[in-house]
Structure 1
C-alpha cells in the first residue's frame, strides 16, 4: 500500500497539499469545514480502507485547511474557489470524466454538489456525506453562524451554542482571517440544479446528524441516489468504521 503527500499550485498558484493512499481507480475525497484530509479521511482509516479495496484515495487539504496555504489576500477567494481547487486536483492527476469517483463530507459535499451540478467535475459515482437540503439552499445562515464564531472567538464561553464550533476550530489551528474570507466566497445552491447530477449517488449521513437538514430529502431529489444511514452525529459520524464501510461498499459496485 502506497502513501504520500504531494503539493500543487491551484488555479491561482495557491499551494494545496494532497494526501494519497493506495493504487487503483482514483477517488477524490473532500473534507469538511475547518477540518482536513487527516482529520476526516486518514485518522479514522477511511483512506486506508479504500486503498485496501483496490482504490487510490486522493485527499486534498482545501485552501485554509490542513497543510494547504491560507492566504490573507481577498483576491484569493473568488466565488466558487473551492470548486476551482477541486477541479485543479482532478487536472493535476489527469482524471478524465467517468474515470474517477468523488466523495465529500459537509463542506466537501457542498463543493462536490456544486462542481457536479455545473459540469465542472464528472465523476463515475458521487458520495455525498453529512449533507442535507438545508445545507445547500440555506448555506448563508450556516455561514453566519461560523462568522460569529470567528468574530467573537475570544468571548464565546461554555454553554454558548457556538462553543463546540469554536473548540473544534481552535483544535485544528485554523487561520481565522483566511477562514473568514473563505466563508464569504460561498453562496447558496439552486436546488433545481440537482437534476443535473445524473451519475449514481449515495447520500451517507449519521442517524443523529441534522446540522445540514434532511439527508433523505436530498437523496430523494437526486435523479439516481440512495440514502445510507450510519451511526453518529455531524461531529462524530466520520469517526465510525460504518462510515468508511458505506463509502467503500458504494464505490466498489
Structure 2
C-alpha cells in the first residue's frame, strides 16, 4: 500500500493492473475501504485482467487513510479533490472513474469539478438518491457513536454499525464523515455531467433510488438493473462486472 497527500491529509492508495493500459479510478462506499469494496469483491483482479490500470484509494476516515473528526473535512467537494489529487500524483491526465454509493457521489462531484480529467463514469449503488437524497442518515451517525451495537434499534443504523465494527473502523471519524458527505446535487448539476455514464443499482436496493430516473437527467447515461441484489451485495455481482467491462470497452 502506498500513500499520497491531499489537502494536508495522508491517504492510502493502490496502483495495480496493466501500467500501460487505460486507467480506471475506483472510489469505495461509506464505512468500507478499497480492500473491502474493490479487492475482496474481485473488481481489481477483473479490471486488471481486462487490460486496465486500476487505481483506488481509501477515502478520508476509511482504511489506511487519515481520519479527521471535523465534519467540514468531509464535504463532497473536498473528497472529490482527493480523487483529482491522486491522478495528479500518478501523472494520469485522464481516467475513467467508478464510484460505489458514497463513492458515486464523490465521483459526480469530481466529474463536475474537473470534467476534462474523467473520460467515462460508472455509478454503482446510487441512483436518483444523488439528487433526492437517500433518507435520514443522522440515525447512522447516532448508531456509530452508540456505546455498542446492542444500543442501536434503527435497522439501517444497525446495518452500518455492524459493518463498521466488522471492519474495525474509526467510528468517530465515520460519524463526522456521514454528517457532511451526503450533500446532494441539483437536476441542473447532474445535467452537466456529459461523459458517457453507466448507473448500476440492485433491484432490492432500498437506499440508492432509481437508476433509470437518474439516467434520464443526464445527457449520455444508461441504467443497469443488478437483478436480485440489495445495496450491500450488488457491488460484487458478476453481471454488474460484465456490464461494466462492456461499458468500458465501448470507449476503446
**Pair 1:47–1:107, CA change in 2 (3 A):** same
How far the C-alpha of 1:211 sits from its partner, in A, is: 0.7
Q: Which segment is superposed worse, 144-153 or 70-79?
A: 70-79
2:98 paired with 1:103: yes
Give, in whole Å, the separation in 2 of the partners of 1:82 and 1:159.
30
2:27 paired with 1:30: yes
Give, in whole Å, the separation in 2 of the partners of 1:171 and 1:68.
18
2:202 paired with 1:206: yes
Cα deviation, 1:66-123, whole Å, max 9, x if unaligned, reads: 1112134566445632111112111112222xx3100000000000111212336631
Q: Which segment is superposed worse, 26-35 or 121-130?
A: 121-130
Equivalence map 1:1-253=2 (5 Å): 5-12=1-8, 14-23=9-18, 24-72=21-69, 76-77=73-74, 80-96=77-93, 99-119=94-114, 122-138=117-133, 141-154=135-148, 156=150, 160-161=154-155, 162-186=157-181, 187-231=183-227, 232-253=229-250
**Pair 1:229–1:155, CA change in 2 (3 A):** closer
Give, in whole Å, the separation in 2 of the partners of 1:209 and 1:73.
30
Q: Structure 1 unaligned segments of length 5 or more: list them.
A: none
Q: TM-score with structure 1 length normalisation?
A: 0.88
How far the C-alpha of 1:159 sits from its partner, in A, is: 6.3
Q: Which segment is superposed worse, 66-75 or 85-94?
A: 66-75
Cα root mean square deviation, aligned: 2.1
Number of residues of Structure 1 aligned to a counterpart in Structure 2: 245
**Pair 1:112–1:192, CA change in 2 (3 A):** same
How far the C-alpha of 1:243 sits from its partner, in A, is: 2.3
Q: Which segment is superposed worse, 175-184 or 99-108?
A: 175-184
Cα deviation, 1:40-72, whole Å, max 9, x if unaligned, reads: 111121111111111011011111111112134
Q: Structure 2 unaligned segments of length 5 or more: list them.
A: none
Answer whether contact 2:201 2:210 (CA < 8 A) is retained: no
3-state SS of paired residue (1:150): helix
**Pair 1:143–1:88, CA change in 2 (3 A):** farther
Give, in whole Å, the separation in 2 of the partners of 1:173 and 1:81.
24
Where has structure 1 moved over 4 Å in runs of 4 or more?
Answer: 73-79, 155-159
Give, in whole Å, the separation in 1 of the partners of 2:106 and 2:186.
13
